[in-house]
Amino acid sequence: MGPQGKGAPAERGEEAARPCCGCRFPLLLALLQLALGLAVTVLGFLMASASPSLPLRATPFWAGITVCLVAYLGLFMLCVSYQVDERTCIQFAMKLLYFLLSALGLVVCVLAVAFAAHHYSQLTQFTCATTLDSCQCKLPSSEPLSRTFVYRDVTDCASITGTFKLFLLIQMILNLVCGLVCLLACFVMWKHRYQVFYVGVRMCPLTASEGQQQNV
């Protein structure tokens, strides 16, 4: 009984030190970031091809590229040798960088949603007319010299008031979901780093060890 009692804590420690491929990094979050980032990027380039005069803020492919970079970093973290309590500098640096880039991705996605929502609200109020190879749209205003928005290389204003409006709506949904995934990734990384504050995780092993010492 004595040798078995001494060897049991060591075996438990070895089992706890063994990394789990699915536990050492939230793989699902990185894959979600990659899929959503690619969708936002492709849709942004499609929106940019609709008219070359569209502003950069109206075609948020830049938000998708940012999230894709964050996802690639998260997937690359799987290749780093795992050690308990982050005993390697590269592991700690990559986790910190992933946390910061996920926070940046959250901010970028929120900006993309805000720009898309603003442009969408304008499109719902536009009065458009086709002239040559462009579409000229105006906001309803009592002033005769109100601002005119010109969309070049457009043969029909329906592509702006219809198709482009649909693109903006999809962009709002995709960037909103993408921002929530980035926020969840930040929370998971924070919890993984500072989960020692949760008393239930640490108190049980300490209580068990104290009971063993009292028995001895």
- Is the confidence at residue 24, as pLDDT, over 60? no
In angstroms, the CA 34 to CA 137 distance is 36
Q: Specify the range with the lowest mean pLDDT, choosing from 70-74, 176-180, 208-212.
A: 208-212
Give the start-to-end residue ranges of the domains of the chain: 24-195
> Is residue 108 classed as helix, strand or coil in its secondary structure?
helix
Tell me which of 147 and 80 has the higher pLDDT.
Answer: 147
Q: What is the dihedral of CA 72, 74, 79, 81, to 10 degrees?
A: 160
Highest mean pLDDT of the ranges 45-54, 99-108, 119-128, 137-146 = 99-108
User: Residue 163: is it exposed, middle or buried by C-beta count within 10 angstroms (0-12/13-18/19+)?
Assistant: middle
Spell 104-125 as b/e; 16+ CB within 10 A means b.
ebbebbbbbbebbbebbeebee
This prediction has a pTM of: 0.70
Helix/strand/coil for 143 = coil
Measured CA distances, 25 to 20, 38, 189 (Å): 9, 21, 9
Residue 213 vs residue 66, higher pLDDT = 66
